[in-house]
Amino acid sequence: MKAYIENTAYEFNEGETILEFVRRIEKNKNAIPTMCQDDRLENFGSCRVCSVEVAREKDGLTRIMASCHTPTPEGLYIYHNTDKMKRLRKNIVELVLTDYPTYKILPSEGKKATPFQETIAQIGIPNIRYPEGKNHFDIEPDKGHPYIKSDLSQCINCYRCVRACEEIQGEMILGMSGRGFAINIIKGFDTTFDESACVSCGACVQTCPTEALTDKFETKTLIADKTVRTTCTYCGVGCQLDVSVIDGKIRGIQAPETAEVNQGHTCLKGRFAFQFYDHPDRLREPMIKKNGKFEVVTWDEAYDFITSKLIEIKNKYGANSIGGISSSRATNEENYLMQKMIRVAVGTNNIDGCARVCHAPTAYGMQQSFGTGAATNSIEDLKQADAIFLFGANPVKGHPVTGAKIKQAFMKGVTSIVVDPIKTKLADLATYFLQIRPGTNVAILNMIAYYIIKENLVNQHFIDSYTEKYIDFKKHVETLDMSELEILTGVSKELVRKAAIAYAKADRAMEFHGLGVTEHFQGSKTVMLLSNLAMMTGNVGKNGVGLNPLRGQNNVQGAADMGVQPHQGAGYLDINDSEVQYYYAQKYGVEKMPEFEGLKIPEMLDAAIDGKLKALYIMGEDTIMTDPNTNHSIKAFKNLELIVVQELFMTATSEMADVVLPASSYFEKNGTFTNGERRVQRVNKVIEPIGNTKPDGQIIIDMMSRLGYIQPTGLTYDAAKIIEEIADVIPFMKGLTWERLGENGLQWPIKEDGTDTKMLHIDGNFKKGIGTFHHFDFEESPEIVSHGKKYPFILTTGRELEHYNSGTMTRRTDNQTILNKDVLEVYPRDAKAKGIEDNETVRVFSDRGSVNISIKYSKNVKRGVLRTTFHQPEIFINLITGSVGDKETMTPEYKVVAVDFEKIK
């Protein structure tokens, strides 16, 4: 297929527009000027400056076409820079400038040119010949929002913001009103950004080619000393960010359009919530608690203190009296070093991380079913899925960029099934919404399986060829009484049947799940039953299918990969196996490794209360605030002889520490994060460490050498070198190198030659050889069995878009201005029955304790169910959550807490 540019023939690609074709051939993004065009948006054709002349024959009679939305036909002659087109472009710009402030035609002093200013310069500044006429210079700016501002007197009505809002974020906050010359960008019901339902993602600001929409940091016109690409720290999506630095300070963030993960998009956390990094609250000096008060000390003093105490405790009580908790916010390299320090330098397997409170059941369950505890597919597969099954997750809030993609698929009409006790935005949009009673996941999955079997929609070929133990599962499911499960789950049989049929009939059904699956008494079992559904319908091992856990923290996948768990070392090798112990000893250059499986976090806390655990070394984890049953945690901490915490800020946990070590934030160090689709991506140092802080990795290397282990990569934390070591230790990362990661990272397994893997278990080739079915009965949570009568409401906890877990970072940004409190969502009638008004503060209490919290009438919860978040320390909701956990992994059941609430007298 050939077409001609200025009479020279070139191959064009199927479906390529004239604009794309010319840009590609001429290797110039500006080969043809544009204003309304953005590669990420649907072609729109409003500005017309990309018009070109085209002819059917060489130098033949030409027609004028807008190149941005005209596909290239075979044999077309394209003349894109003729005098006529130059004149047209200049005449259009002249028209635009009749309603555009003259002082904005050239870049302001000290500011970078906007894309529109660049376009004007490219086309040539026209002489404006029109007499002065009506204009829009008097539109009032809107400056009320914490991050986003508008000054529509500079708007050129290209619709890019409106389209970005709908097409990138999946919202429709920005719209256009009026018609003709009177058109005008509006927000919501023609209100302000702040008053509208804007989710502050900033997609509009980034695409706006003028300064009509800007952020408070004026990022788009910054002339930065440097712009550093790095990976966002705020969730498992792993957005790439371009961070602009001036005079050693972060001044603004944009999302690179070349990023495979986020394609120029990110959320308000990634884009705007960076101000925490030099917040006055940042810990800047090491501190030791003396007589109940923290005193600033030197690093050496702190190291000496910790070393002597650790050695003392180890000598006195043995290495197993020491435990380490690592952080899913830290880099892979740091997590690797942390587990290594605990295992090699301290000599125990008591190493665990915050996956314990989130996705440990996913890792465990999927290992049991498939052999690998990680997402089977990639997010880009969403495009190929014709059914999406979303279970216990609200990605629009927790994983906004992936959430926006899922939301758009829902809106565009993909078959969609949501199982959740909460009516989320996605539930509203879904084809089938199964609003279950919290804690009945196993029951609803058994129902779905029952109807798939009953309707004879199983993929028998897949089952026979690639799996085992299906018959046992089938027999078990067939004995179940659907009417009983209907009552239990609170979801009608008919609705479940329809959803089951829709899932099974889809060519490609893609599953996503979140903590609504894992943070349950039957969490691991739920994961295995989800695996069953995928296997029985053949939805594993091809594009657009699979089981795809939405990993919570930015590096929760990586922390587990690196061996931050008491039963598996780096690369998931079983540390109980003596050959494995030998393997690690060889790799780490030590004589022997600790022999016994270590303690999980809840076990560590219990051991502390029992007096068996004496020291905890914590890297970047606020255990007190985020673990359930706070009073229990506090009791455990009080019983310890040594608590060391590496942190950015004073937290409930670091307040209880004996030594606090100030750590550098992710802007201040190199390393890698692994996102929810197994993609290892670079974290690049943007600025020098703040104050006297050190990267966690450096602190660990320092500590290891004091404890007698010299890190072979040297005494300075060097991520690239540590990656080499990781590649040598972890079998599925053999080909990993810093250089190979490039701009978009690599998805593991990474072969020796550097090829990575977008999809696991291809064509039924399960990692563990054969996929295994498991079967389970629903079992009521002990929380309900023991306390349900006395505390008849079920509290379930979740997150909001604006905050990141315990909020240590986001609360120290303007995100706190947007959302500054946790509230308790209550079904109106439930509250009214107790005589409680909307917005009233109530006491909510459980068997563990009580907190006061203001309520919000909400029909997103069913009667008998309450929902809240855990971002604000003022509320400390974990004072009332319980100690029940997933049987297999001990992940706490945050999602089912037996509570009651009452009016405060």
Partner 1 sequence: MANKNIRSLSFRKELKDNLFENIANLSLKNASKEDFQELAKRFLIDDSVVVGTASFYDFTREENRNKKIHICSGTACMTAKTQDNLYKNLDNYFAKDEIGHAACVGRCHTNNAFMYNGNTYSASSPDELEQILPSPAQSRNQENDYNIGYNTTPILTSKIENITSFYSLAKNFKTNPQQVIQEVKASNLRGRGGAGFPFWFKLDAVLKEINTQKYIVCNADEGDPGAYSDMYLMEHQPHKVLFGMYVAGLTVGANTGILYIRGEYPDSIKKVNEAIIELQEKNLIGDFKFKVIPGQGSYVCGEETALLNSIEGLRPEVRVRPPYPAQYGLFGKPTVLSNVETFANIHWILENGGDAFASLGTKQSAGTKLVSLDGFFNKPGIYEIEMGTDLHTVFHEFGNGFKEDIKAFQIGGPLGGIVPIHKIGDLTLDFESLNSNGFLLGHASIVSIPSNFPMIKFLEHLMEFTADESCGKCYPCRIGSFRGMEMLQKAQNDDYKIDRILFDDLLETLEIGSLCALGGGIPLPIKNALQYFNEELQHYFTSN
Is residue 42 close enough to count as binding partner 1 by CB under 8 A? yes
- Number of helices (H), then strands (E), in the chain: 31, 35
Q: Measure the CA–CA gap between 420 and 252, rounded to whole angstroms.
A: 37
Q: Give Cβ neighbours of residue 752 (< 8 Å, ≥ 6 apart).
A: 734, 735
Rounded least distance, CB 177 to partner 1, Å:
4
Give whichever of 68 and 534 is closer to partner 1, judged by the CB atom: 68
**Residue 188 binds partner 1 (CB under 8 A):** yes
Question: Which neighbouring-strand residues pair with 176?
Answer: 185
Residue 51 in contact with partner 1, rule: CB under 8 A? yes
Which of 149, 242, 244 minimizes the C-alpha distance to 187?
A: 149
Nearer to partner 1, 205 or 355 (CB): 205
Indicate which single residue of 137, 181, 582, 596 sits in contact with partner 1 (rule: CB under 8 A): 181
Q: Is 187 helix (H, G, I), strand (E, B) or coil?
A: strand
Residue count of the chain, please give it. 905
Separation between Cα atoms, residue 655 and residue 516, nearest integer Å: 30
Only segment of 64-72, 311-319, 393-401, 448-456 that touches partner 1 (CB under 8 A):
64-72
Question: In sequence order, what are the residues at sequence separation of 6 or more whose Cβ sits closer than 8 angstroms to the Cβ of residue 711?
Answer: 337, 701, 704, 705
Q: Does 43 bind partner 1 (CB under 8 A)?
A: yes
Q: What is the closest distance, in whole angstroms, from the C-beta atom of residue 814 to partner 1 in the complex?
A: 23
Euclidean distance between CA atoms 421 and 442, whole angstroms: 14
Residues 6+ apart with CB under 8 A from 741: 672, 680, 681, 682
Shortest distance, CB of residue 322 to partner 1, whole angstroms? 54
State the sign of the Cα–Cα–Cα–Cα dihedral 50, 54, 59, 60: negative
Residues from 204 through 263 that contact partner 1 (CB under 8 A):
none
Q: How far is the CB of 51 from partner 1 (least distance, A)?
A: 6
Instruction: Provide the 3-class DSSP secondary structure of residue 711.
Output: coil
Location of structure tokens 């698929």: 409
Half-sphere exposure of 8 (CA within 13 A, CB side): 7
- Binding residue for partner 1 (CB under 8 A) from 16, 26, 39, 99? 99
Among 10, 39, 40, 71, binds partner 1 (CB under 8 A): 71
Counting contacts by CB under 8 A, is residue 27 touching partner 1? no
317 token code pair = 């009580």
> Residue 138, interface with partner 1 (CB under 8 A)?
no
Supply the DSSP symbol for 823: E
429 binds partner 1 (CB under 8 A): yes
Interface with partner 1 includes 766 (CB under 8 A)? Answer: no
Asked if 133 touches partner 1 (CB under 8 A), the answer is yes
Task: Determine how β-strand 226-231 pairs with β-strand 240-246.
Answer: antiparallel
Does 179 interact with partner 1 (rule: CB under 8 A)?
yes
Figure out which of the listed residues 25, 55, 64, 634 binds partner 1, where binding follows CB under 8 A. 64
- Name the packing angle between helices 493-505 and 441-454 (round to 10°): 60
Give yes or no for residue 174 binding partner 1 (CB under 8 A): yes
Does residue 828 bind partner 1 (CB under 8 A)? no
Which region, judged by CB under 8 A, interacts with partner 1, from 182-190, 202-210, 328-336, 516-524?
A: 182-190
Tell me whether residue 414 or residue 844 sits nearer to partner 1 (CB atom): 414
The answer to whether residue 785 forms part of the interface with partner 1 (CB under 8 A) is no
Question: Could you give the dihedral angle defined by the CA atoms of residues 160, 163, 167 and 169, in that order, rounded to the nearest 10 degrees?
Answer: 80
Closest CA to 326 of 519, 515, 565: 565
Piece in contact with partner 1 (CB under 8 A), picked from 81-89, 137-145, 380-388, 541-549: 81-89
Q: Which of 1, 9, 106, 197 binds partner 1 (CB under 8 A)?
A: 197
Smallest distance, partner 1 to C-beta of residue 161, A: 11
CA distance 393 to 411: 17
Smaller CB distance to partner 1: residue 416 or 539?
A: 416
Q: Which of residues 387-426 bind partner 1 (CB under 8 A)?
A: 408, 411-413
Q: Which is nearer to partner 1, 59 or 132 (CB)?
A: 132
Q: Which part of the chain contacts partner 1 (CB under 8 A), choosing from 115-123, 169-177, 469-477, 710-718? A: 169-177
Determine the interface stretch with partner 1 among 130-138, 438-446, 496-504, 780-788 (rule: CB under 8 A). Answer: 130-138
Token pair, residue 472, equals 């046992």
Task: Verify binding: residue 88, partner 1, rule CB under 8 A.
Answer: yes
Backbone φ and ψ for 576, nearest 5 degrees, come out as -75, -15
Cβ neighbours of residue 379 closer than 8 Å, sequence gap 6 or more: 237, 261, 402, 405, 548, 676, 677
Considering only the stretches 124-132, 481-489, 599-607, 620-628, report the one whose residues sit in contact with partner 1 under the rule CB under 8 A: 124-132
**Which one of 31, 32, 96, 510 is in contact with partner 1 (CB under 8 A)?**
96
CA 872 vs. chain centroid, Å, equals: 20
- Of 20, 142, 167, 334, the residue at the interface with partner 1 (CB under 8 A) is 167
Residue 677 burial (C-beta neighbours within 10 Å; 0-12, 13-18, 19+): buried
701-730: contacts with partner 1 (CB under 8 A) = none
Burial 71-89 (b: 16+ CB within 10 A, else e): ebeeebbbbbeeeebeebb
Sequence-distant (6+) residues with CB within 8 A of 828 are 838, 857, 858, 859
Q: Which residues make beta-bridge pairs with 295?
A: 288
State yes or no: residue 182 binds partner 1 (CB under 8 A).
yes
- CA neighbor of 770 nearest in space, from 546, 535, 471: 535
Q: By CB under 8 A, is residue 511 in contact with partner 1?
A: no
List 23, 149, 187, 761, residue binding partner 1 (CB under 8 A) = 187
Nearest to 611 by CA among 315, 341, 320: 320
* 311 near partner 1, judged by CB under 8 A: no
Q: Which of 423, 421, 390, 420 is nearest to 405 (CA)?
A: 390
Q: Among the candidate windows 44-52, 207-215, 743-751, 772-780, which touches partner 1 by CB under 8 A? A: 44-52
Q: 649-659: string of b/e by CB count within 10 Å (b at 16+)?
A: bbbbbbebbbb
Instruction: For residue 92, state whether it binds partner 1 (rule: CB under 8 A).
Output: yes
Scanning 123-131, 773-781, 797-805, 895-903 for contacts with partner 1 by CB under 8 A, the matching segment is: 123-131
**Minimal distance, residue 552 CB to partner 1, in Å:** 27
The H or E element containing residue 519 is: none
Decide if 731 contacts 739 (C-beta within 8 A): no
Of 172-180, 234-242, 456-464, 696-704: span binding partner 1 (CB under 8 A): 172-180
Residue 88 or 784 with smaller CB distance to partner 1: 88
Give the type of residue at 54: V
Q: Which one of residues 183, 482, 590, 720 is an interface residue with partner 1 (CB under 8 A)?
A: 183
Binding range to partner 1, per CB under 8 A, among 179-187, 298-306, 337-345, 775-783:
179-187
159 vs 791, beta carbon nearer partner 1: 159
Is there binding between residue 18 and partner 1 (CB under 8 A)? no
Query: Does 13 participate in binding partner 1 (rule CB under 8 A)?
Result: no
Window of 185-193, 246-254, 303-311, 514-522 that interacts with partner 1 by CB under 8 A: 185-193
The reply to whether omega before 749 is within 30° of 0 (cis) is yes
383 binds partner 1 (CB under 8 A): no
Is 61 a residue that touches partner 1 (CB under 8 A)? Answer: no
Measured distance between the N- and C-terminal CA atoms of the chain, rounded to whole angstroms: 79
How far lies 638's CA from each of 54, 643, 655, in Å?
A: 79, 9, 12
Q: In the complex with partner 1, which residue's Cβ is closer, 264 or 745? A: 264
By CB under 8 A, is residue 189 in contact with partner 1?
A: yes
| Site residues for partner 1 per CB under 8 A | 41-49, 51, 64, 66, 69, 71, 84, 87-88, 91-92, 95-96, 98-99, 129-131, 133-134, 157, 159, 163, 166-167, 170-183, 186-190, 196-197, 408, 411-413, 428-429
